[in-house]
Structure 1
Amino acid sequence: MTATTEPGSAPTVTDFRDGVRAWLDANDLTPPADHSLDAQVVQLARVRRALYEAGWMRYGWPVAVGGLGGPAVLRAVLGEEVATRDLAEPGIYSMIEVLAPTVISYASAELAADLVPRLLSGEEQWCQGFSEPGSGSDLASLSTRAVPDGDSWVIDGQKVWTSLAQYATRCVLLTRTAPGHDGITAFLVDMDTPGITVRPLRTMHGVDEFAEVYFDNVVVPADRMLGAPGDGWRVAMDLLPHERSTCFWHRIAYLFTRLDRLLEQTAIPDDAELGAAYLALHAARCRSRITQDRLASGAHLGPETSVDKVLLATAEQRLFDTARELLPGAIEFDDPVWRTEYLYSRAATIYGGTAEIQRNIIARRLLDLGKE
């Protein structure tokens, strides 16, 4: 079965899922045995390209940017099928769910129509330049500065923990143009612009997924601004629901495949440990489903998504802690795949907003417990 390529003729969720599954059964997108980051990025482009050409990747996106329309939940279903079959690493696959909606919402219609199809089709990889050495969870304290210069802006500063920056063609970048929250401005920057230096960072799980990015007198045309001067904080806050809805849904689907793998490899199951890991994942999935439904209904997502973040981080670490308990020596000595994923899970309570910050948000803004 091949997806229809006629805009405005979106299938039901059930028909879409059945069609995707049938198409994936008939088209082999199995990744190579090479688990390096280079290979993962190549595989990501391959998967996106194949799904785009077949039409599946275009559902759930506006017709104006090369999509076929239909509800955004179709994108969640597609990503779930990709994650469940282990066709692409879910973290880098899901970046599209953060960056494309931001550009669609804030770039000019002409710019979005030109560039978003390149991301959807796998022709380009993009990155997100938010965090800085002195402003991680405290994003509002960022200091990378943009200064107007005629019809352009000149950017100076440094970003860090920028995923896949060394592969990226564009960067959704937050800069400081004035004091305070209203002094943050966003740009879509071409990564080959003179003055940009990318330095990959080797993490403890042995992958250069993150990078430092330096901006030294980088000239960016004014028409690459996302929104208006001072809209950057709003851009960041609008980006968050996508990060904590569809992206989380994909991640949870992937983690369930890891639980299945653990069950297959466990010689002497510990029902209590496995049950606790399953319940943690199931709780995160149920909460994520509520968020997906609210986003689909057009509801505004706010501080309640911090609950999603805490549940997902807790479930991920519990799963890999269970794997370490039930597969003695595998993570330490025998299995590089389990070891890499276990080490990566240690960062689950840090990236995307630390667990401490998320619990503070829950306490102050949801439970009204005050600032202390």
Structure 2
Amino acid sequence: MRLSPFTGPDVFRAELRAWLDDHDLTPPTGHDPGDPGDSDRTDSTHDLDAQVAQLGRVRQALWQAGWMRYGWPREVGGLGGSGVLRAVLGEEIASRDLAEPGIWSMVEVLVPTLLDYAPPALAAEMAPRLLGGEEQWCQGFSEPGSGSDLASLSTRAVLGEDGGEWLVTGQKVWTSLAQYAARCVLLARTGGPGHAGISAFFVDMDSPGITVRPLRTMHGVDEFAEVFFDDVRVPASRLLGAPGDGWRLAMDLLPHERSTCFWHRIAHLYSRLDRLLAEGCESDPDALGAAWLGLHTVRCRSAAAQSRLAAGGRLGPETSVDKILLAGAEQRLFDTARDLLPGTVELAEGPWRTEYLYSRAATIYGGTAEIQRNIVARRLLDLGKE
């Protein structure tokens, strides 16, 4: 059954749930895609392989059935309709643990960026490959010494003499899933220092001169990687926007990280709270209530962001408040699990330990809590640079 793209979210959700009930998209091994620390598996690289394979499998099935097309424009193979339908789809996927929410949500960051900045023909060719599960992509922003201070990045792109290609040299770090990625949205310096000298490119990851080295995190998964560029040739047609548009692209991309992506993450965290309750952890209702309240608060903020986007609005620095609240709620939830399940985090190699360790990074990835508070102070409260 194909719904109208103008179907409301409630009808869309009901039909989607019925379809998911009738189509088994659970991991074929029984492995929880949201739990890379499953105690039955010891090879963390293989665990990540399973997560990425499951992500592709789910996207392919949803694309073929049409569900993955709602909320995306027809120019890239979509069916049109509100982006709220994409939020509903991701929420249902996260709630059922059908795909890890962080890597699922990368489409919500990279596809809108391609739509806004790539030549239309390039977007039309490439976006269906990501949406349909054929490819994974990555985002090459952070560098050693240029994490939160993105304007100081030093990876450089030099236009060749004939103007037909750029030569890229430099290093990126903390690049999620780079070892699986077919493409990269890359920031590089094409001009002088500061924001105005940064440009963006859409780079094929199999280009000669690219080296990827996975990085092991403290929760035991090679989720991030270093990526080295040694005179990598990038066609001039792969420039996103105009030279010098890189900073504007980055500022437009960040709100996407904190809108629909957050909605998916919140759904995942609610499922973990349900799991905590299912394990009989009701001895401290105050702690459970505080964990629920943290999630409810950020869900309300995220719902407001979804409504604003659905009405055609744009997101700005106010999403830094959402980032602060989500990081706090995530850490509070897993702190509560640690306290109510004694020894589960400290002594057991199981799912709670893995997700607890991952939650420690919630105040770092996607912009540190300190940077977010600075943004709130300067741009929302007008408190000045000091």
Instruction: Please tell me the TM-score bracket, short chain as reference.
Output: over 0.9
1:10-21 matched pairs, under 5 angstroms: 10-21=6-17
- The residue type equivalent to 1:251 in the other structure is R
Runs of 4+ in structure 1 off by over 2 angstroms are 32-35, 266-269
User: Could you tell me which of 178, 184, 188 is aligned with 1:171?
Assistant: 184
Asked if structure 1 preserves the Cα contact closer than 8 Å seen for 2:5 and 2:70, the reply is no
> Within the alignment, does 1:359 sit opposite 2:373 as a pair?
yes
Q: In structure 2, how many angstroms separate the alpha carbons of the residues matched to 1:273 and 1:338?
A: 17
> Within the alignment, does 1:182 sit opposite 2:196 as a pair?
yes
The aligned counterpart of 2:269 is 255
Deviation for aligned residue 1:33: 3.2
The aligned counterpart of 2:286 is 272
1:143-162 matched pairs, under 5 angstroms: 143-149=154-160, 150=162, 151-162=164-175
1:224-235 matched pairs, under 5 angstroms: 224-235=238-249
Asked if structure 1 preserves the Cα contact closer than 8 Å seen for 2:179 and 2:225, the reply is yes
Gaps of 5+ in 1: none
Q: In structure 1, how many angstroms separate the alpha carbons of the residues matched to 2:238 and 2:381?
A: 40
User: Could you tell me which of 110, 119, 126 is aligned with 1:115?
Assistant: 126
1:44-123 matched pairs, under 5 angstroms: 44-123=55-134
> Within the alignment, does 1:24 sit opposite 2:37 as a pair?
no
Asked if structure 2 preserves the Cα contact closer than 8 Å seen for 1:160 and 1:210, the reply is yes
> Within the alignment, does 1:288 sit opposite 2:302 as a pair?
yes
Asked if structure 2 preserves the Cα contact closer than 8 Å seen for 1:86 and 1:254, the reply is yes
Query: Percent identity among equivalent residues?
Result: 73
Gaps of 5+ in 2: 37-46
The aligned counterpart of 2:215 is 201
Deviation for aligned residue 1:306: 0.4
Q: Closer, same or farther in 2 for the Cα pair 1:112/1:268, shift >3 Å?
A: closer
Larger relative contact order (C-alpha < 8 A, sep ≥ 6)? 2
Q: Closer, same or farther in 2 for the Cα pair 1:315/1:276, shift >3 Å?
A: same
Q: In structure 2, how many angstroms separate the alpha carbons of the residues matched to 1:269 and 1:287?
A: 29
- The SS at the match of 2:383 is coil
Asked if structure 2 preserves the Cα contact closer than 8 Å seen for 1:266 and 1:326, the reply is no
Deviation for aligned residue 1:215: 0.2
Deviation for aligned residue 1:267: 4.4
Q: In structure 1, how many angstroms separate the alpha carbons of the residues matched to 2:281 and 2:176?
A: 37
Q: In structure 2, how many angstroms separate the alpha carbons of the residues matched to 1:198 and 1:55?
A: 34
- The SS at the match of 2:171 is strand
Deviation for aligned residue 1:319: 0.2
> What do residues 176-196 of structure 1 show as CA deviations (whole Å, max 9, x unaligned)?
011221111000000000000
Q: In structure 2, how many angstroms separate the alpha carbons of the residues matched to 1:293 and 1:189?
A: 33
> Within the alignment, does 1:3 sit opposite 2:2 as a pair?
yes
Q: In structure 2, how many angstroms separate the alpha carbons of the residues matched to 1:256 and 1:350?
A: 21
- The SS at the match of 1:303 is coil
The aligned counterpart of 2:364 is 350
> What do residues 206-260 of structure 1 show as CA deviations (whole Å, max 9, x unaligned)?
0000000000000000000111101111111111121100000000010000000
- The SS at the match of 2:345 is helix
Deviation for aligned residue 1:335: 4.8
- The SS at the match of 1:99 is helix
Q: In structure 1, how many angstroms separate the alpha carbons of the residues matched to 2:337 and 2:201?
A: 42
User: Could you tell me which of 209, 227, 230 is aligned with 1:216?
Assistant: 230
Q: Closer, same or farther in 2 for the Cα pair 1:17/1:229, shift >3 Å?
A: same
Asked if structure 2 preserves the Cα contact closer than 8 Å seen for 1:170 and 1:191, the reply is yes
> What do residues 2-49 of structure 1 show as CA deviations (whole Å, max 9, x unaligned)?
335xxx744221111111100000001112334411000000000000
User: Could you tell me which of 202, 206, 214 is aligned with 1:192?
Assistant: 206
- The SS at the match of 1:185 is strand
Q: Closer, same or farther in 2 for the Cα pair 1:120/1:268, shift >3 Å?
A: closer
Greater displacement, 291-300 / 239-248: 291-300
The aligned counterpart of 2:140 is 129
> What do residues 309-334 of structure 1 show as CA deviations (whole Å, max 9, x unaligned)?
00000000000000000000111223
- TM-score w.r.t. length of structure 1: 0.97
Q: Closer, same or farther in 2 for the Cα pair 1:329/1:258, shift >3 Å?
A: same
- The residue type equivalent to 1:97 in the other structure is E
